């Protein structure tokens, strides 16, 4: 076989022609034979079974019947015509109906000749089948038939233009004829052996024309494995290449600052998870390669101190460090916390945000450039081009999903050699997804909370129980605690949400009158200065209740707040609910999260609420979230193209993904540039994939 035959434009396939080729290109992105052969069926229908018309049930899904057309008529309707054919198989009669394409259908139908028809049936005073797929029995017997009939992805336009599933199927047969069904192997013999995978040719044949269930399953496994394997291979080799090519600053000293802080100034004993992560970071920083690490840790797991220790290492080695947070409130809080922690060490820390005064800004710029300033904490303002460092060695990004790729890459260019990058997130991403999303980052996980934390008690209450909830709040306030009450804010209905918030605020003011109670309110429509003022009163304990939209979701730390009430909780996603809940449970007191909803709940909402009530574990919650929503809505998936998988499913094919990753790693460890003879199939396929950009482009 000519190895390049698969690059043949689809126009050349017999039966395609220019019109169909255009449609295949525009509707399915099929340009070449190769694209076409990689059009994998969505599902299969059992076509070994034939029904009798007398056996039909009103709820039959898709059925296949052999019979003859006895007459054809055109029926006038108010809205256009329809074509109706009477169809009989001896056991009964039914109608075949067309609403479009009458003329050519009528001309092509043959009376009194046996047909095989296939489609969904309707019942209304008898059975009918709209737009059946049909084929003369004589043709049907000649063509390549398999027990499981594939159903291909399609679009309305394709079907309307006559490129039905059956046509696709025929074209696929044509392709197999032209190529003799022989396709170059794309995995190495060792892999095929070790994993007992079927060959590429056999897999492609059986995915399109399954000989039986077992072979179909093998074909699916082999092709899913291959797809995931090459993605992992790319991610891992990119990572290896980065480590080889992108030299990083070598922080070889563990110096005075780090040691002094560790020995004398740690405010608490680090958890084992924190120690492990600090070790992982230290290894990276001393490896001569640029660190590019994602630190995942649930809210309250103590990421900040880890970040600080990494920054101390940078300073010990003569470098500056910066830390970027998505909001002013968060940046301020990091600044306060870190300035407090290092106050006895001889280092300079400053805060730069959008609201920094010009004089302050000027001073910061100067001190950054002459190297006097060691740590800069701030918001997006830090990313601006005019912010230049004398020698930036480490950049830390908190809550990474709030930052776009472009913003992150700005940090790469703040020094001649790119600084080390540590990206922190409290949005746990299931391991499997993280491997695909951030496969070119190394991942550290803090999977342990500091000791002494009491698990937050979470309950679900209906709006009708509001009075009881208010009583509970009063009791907690009497004990000296503070309360959050959060309202949803979703872009599309911003006005409505705003009204909900204000109505809620009014009713809370009535229920909790001044001067006994003081209430803060924070929402997106306020000026930053007003927001800060209100926030500040709550942080200082001057107000007992904080009424807010989700602006408080990220990072805010008020250890005395012990109750989180989430209004219309059914409107929040799981990860957001979990983030919000993480605002409480930061002090020594027992904390509570109360999910308020109406009685109208969808099945998914119920699952979300039940999950929240059942567990505090962010990773468990993330797994449920992934199952409920699919990867489509999870942060970051859009830009990575995890959804462009042709056959594998990132959630369902978890186990295959792990296997694929394992083997990709193993192969690259032994043969990083894939030069060994035994890996030549893999090298060739990989180069082809990159050349034809079939592998997604990743964040770096
Ligand atoms: P997050 O991971 O959400 O950013 P923080 O770094 O803000 O968490 O830490 C949450 C709280 O836990 C802070 O008040 C911090 O001082 C405290 N903390 C962090 N690590 C420990 C520890 N090992 N022991 C006790 N308290 C800790
Ligand atoms: Mg944090």
Mean pLDDT by 10 residues, the chain (700 residues): 78 93 93 93 84 86 91 85 93 92 85 92 90 87 72 88 90 94 92 96 95 92 95 84 80 90 93 97 92 87 95 96 90 92 93 94 96 95 93 90 67 87 83 68 88 90 94 96 87 65 90 94 84 88 91 71 94 88 87 95 93 90 82 53 72 87 92 92 88 47
CA 498, CA 210: separation in Å to the nearest integer?
56
Say how many Å lie between the CA of residue 579 and the centre of ligand 2. 11
Identify whether 241 is part of a domain.
no
Identify whether 608 is part of a domain.
yes
Identify whether 473 is part of a domain.
yes
Identify whether 609 is part of a domain.
yes
The number of folded domains in the chain is 3
Say how many Å lie between the CA of residue 585 and the centre of ligand 2. 14
pLDDT of residue 696: 40
**CA-452 nearest atom, ligand 1:** 25
Is the bond preceding residue 515 a cis peptide, omega within 30 degrees? yes
- SS3 call for 614: helix
Say how many Å lie between the CA of residue 304 and the centre of ligand 2. 6
In terms of domains, do 556 and 604 share one? yes
In terms of domains, do 419 and 484 share one? no
- Ligand that comes closest to the CA of residue 582: 1
- Ligand that comes closest to the CA of residue 399: 2
Ligand 1, atom 14, lies closest to the CA of: 586
**CA-446 nearest atom, ligand 1:** 2
In terms of domains, do 420 and 466 share one? no
End-of-domain residue from the set 615, 637, 661 = 615
Ligand 1, atom 26, lies closest to the CA of: 450
Phi, psi (deg, nearest 5) at residue 188:
-80, 155
Domain range enclosing 610? 457-615
CA 167, CA 278: separation in Å to the nearest integer?
59
End-of-domain residue from the set 585, 615, 645 = 615
pLDDT of residue 638: 47
- Tell how far CA 266 is from the center of its chain: 37
Say how many Å lie between the CA of residue 260 and the centre of ligand 1. 20
End-of-domain residue from the set 85, 117, 144 = 144
Identify whether 549 is part of a domain.
yes
In terms of domains, do 362 and 465 share one? no
In terms of domains, do 70 and 114 share one? yes
In terms of domains, do 99 and 58 share one? yes
In terms of domains, do 373 and 263 share one? yes
Nearest alpha carbon to residue 283 among 135, 171, 442 = 442
Nearest alpha carbon to residue 166 among 154, 157, 182, 177 = 154
CA 670, CA 10: separation in Å to the nearest integer?
39
pLDDT of residue 224: 96
Say how many Å lie between the CA of residue 304 and the centre of ligand 1. 7
pLDDT of residue 700: 33
Say how many Å lie between the CA of residue 589 and the centre of ligand 1. 15
**CA-271 nearest atom, ligand 1:** 23
Category of 485 on φ-ψ map: left (φ > 0), alpha (ψ -120 to 50) or beta: beta
CA distances from 8 to 2, 34, 169, 689 (A): 11, 8, 19, 16
Identify whether 557 is part of a domain.
yes
Category of 270 on φ-ψ map: left (φ > 0), alpha (ψ -120 to 50) or beta: beta
Pocket probe for ligand 1: among 304, 333, 561, the residue whose CB has the most ligand atoms within 8 Å is: 304
Ligand 1 binding pocket, CB closer than 6 Å: 268-271, 274, 297, 299-305, 426, 450, 557, 586
In terms of domains, do 420 and 461 share one? no
- Ligand that comes closest to the CA of residue 449: 1
pLDDT of residue 639: 47
- Ligand that comes closest to the CA of residue 618: 1
In terms of domains, do 420 and 514 share one? no
In terms of domains, do 418 and 269 share one? yes
CATH of the domain at 362: 3.40.50.300
pLDDT of residue 377: 97
Identify whether 647 is part of a domain.
no
Ligand 1, atom 9, lies closest to the CA of: 302
In terms of domains, do 391 and 510 share one? no
pLDDT of residue 458: 97
Ligand 1, atom 25, lies closest to the CA of: 450
CATH of the domain at 111: 2.40.50.140
In terms of domains, do 273 and 376 share one? yes
pLDDT of residue 492: 47
pLDDT of residue 421: 92
Query: Residue 488 carries which DSSP code?
Result: -
């Amino acid at each position: 076989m000519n190895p390049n035959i698969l690059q043949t434009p689809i126009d050349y396939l017999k039966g395609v022609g220019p019109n169909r080729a255009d449609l295949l290109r525009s509707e399915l992105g099929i340009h070449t034979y190769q694209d076409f052969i990689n059009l994998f069926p969505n599902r299969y229908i059992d076509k070994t079974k034939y029904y009798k018309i007398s056996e039909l049930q009103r709820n039959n899904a898709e059925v296949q019947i052999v019979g003859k057309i006895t007459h054809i008529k055109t029926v006038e309707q108010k809205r256009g015509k329809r074509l109706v054919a009477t169809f009989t198989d001896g056991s009964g009669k039914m109608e075949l109906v067309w609403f479009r394409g009458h003329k050519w259908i009528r001309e092509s139908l043959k009376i009194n000749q046996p047909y095989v028809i296939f489609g969904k049936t309707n019942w209304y005073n008898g059975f009918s089948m709209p737009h059946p797929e049909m084929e003369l029995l004589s043709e049907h017997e000649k063509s390549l038939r398999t027990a499981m009939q594939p159903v291909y992805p399609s679009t309305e336009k394709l079907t309307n233009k006559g490129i039905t599933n059956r046509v696709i199927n025929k074209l696929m047969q044509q392709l197999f004829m032209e190529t003799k069904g022989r396709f170059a192997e794309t995995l190495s013999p060792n892999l095929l052996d070790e994993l007992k995978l079927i060959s590429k040719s056999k897999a492609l044949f059986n995915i399109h024309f399954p000989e039986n269930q077992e072979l179909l399953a093998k074909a699916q496994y082999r092709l899913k494995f291959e797809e995931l394997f090459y993605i992992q291979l790319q991610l891992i080799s990119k990572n290896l290449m980065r480590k080889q090519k992108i030299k990083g600053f070598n922080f070889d000293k563990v110096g005075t600052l780090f040691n002094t802080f560790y020995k004398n100034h740690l405010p608490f004993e680090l958890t084992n998870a924190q120690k492990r992560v600090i070790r992982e970071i230290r290894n990276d920083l001393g490896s001569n390669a640029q660190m590019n690490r994602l630190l995942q840790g649930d809210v309250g797991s103590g990421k900040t101190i880890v970040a600080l220790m990494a920054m101390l290492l940078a300073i010990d080695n003569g470098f500056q460090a910066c830390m970027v947070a998505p909001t002013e409130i968060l940046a301020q809080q990091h600044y306060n916390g870190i300035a407090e922690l290092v106050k006895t060490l001889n280092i300079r820390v400053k805060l730069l945000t959008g609201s920094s005064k010009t004089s302050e800004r000027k001073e910061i710029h100067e001190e950054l450039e002459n190297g006097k300033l060691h740590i800069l904490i701030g918001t997006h303002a830090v990313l601006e081009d005019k912010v230049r460092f004398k020698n930036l060695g480490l950049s830390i990004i908190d809550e990474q999903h709030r930052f776009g790729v472009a913003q992150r890459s700005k940090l790469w260019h703040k020094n001649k050699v790119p600084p080390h990058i540590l990206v922190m997130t409290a949005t746990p991403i299931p391991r499997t997804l993280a491997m695909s999303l951030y496969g070119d980052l190394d991942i550290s996980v803090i999977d342990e909370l500091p000791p002494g934390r009491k698990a937050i008690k979470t309950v679900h209450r209906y709006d009708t129980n509001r009075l009881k909830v208010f009583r509970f709040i009063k009791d907690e306030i009497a004990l000296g605690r503070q309360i959050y009450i959060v309202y949803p804010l979703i872009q599309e209905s911003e006005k409505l949400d705003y009204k909900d918030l204000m109505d809620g605020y009014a009713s809370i003011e009535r229920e909790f009158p001044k001067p006994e109670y003081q209430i803060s309110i924070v929402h997106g429509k306020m000026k930053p200065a007003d927001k800060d003022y209100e926030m500040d009163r709550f942080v200082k304990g001057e107000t007992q209740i904080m009424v807010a939209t989700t602006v408080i979701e990220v990072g805010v730390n008020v250890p005395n707040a012990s109750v989180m009430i989430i209004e219309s909780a059914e409107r929040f996603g799981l990860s957001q609910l979990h983030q919000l809940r993480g605002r409480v449970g930061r002090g020594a007191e027992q904390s509570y999260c109360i999910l308020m909803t109406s009685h109208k709940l969808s099945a998914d909402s119920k699952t979300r609420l039940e999950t929240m009530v059942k567990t505090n574990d962010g990773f468990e919650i993330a797994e449920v979230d992934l199952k409920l929503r699919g990867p489509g809505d999870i942060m970051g998936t859009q830009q990575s193209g995890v959804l462009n998988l042709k056959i594998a499913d990132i959630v369902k094919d978890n186990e295959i993904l792990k296997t694929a990753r394992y083997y990709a790693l193993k192969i690259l460890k032994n043969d990083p540039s894939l030069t060994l003879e035994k890996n030549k199939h893999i090298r060739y396929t990989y180069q082809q994939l990159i050349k034809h950009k079939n592998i997604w482009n990743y964040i770096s």
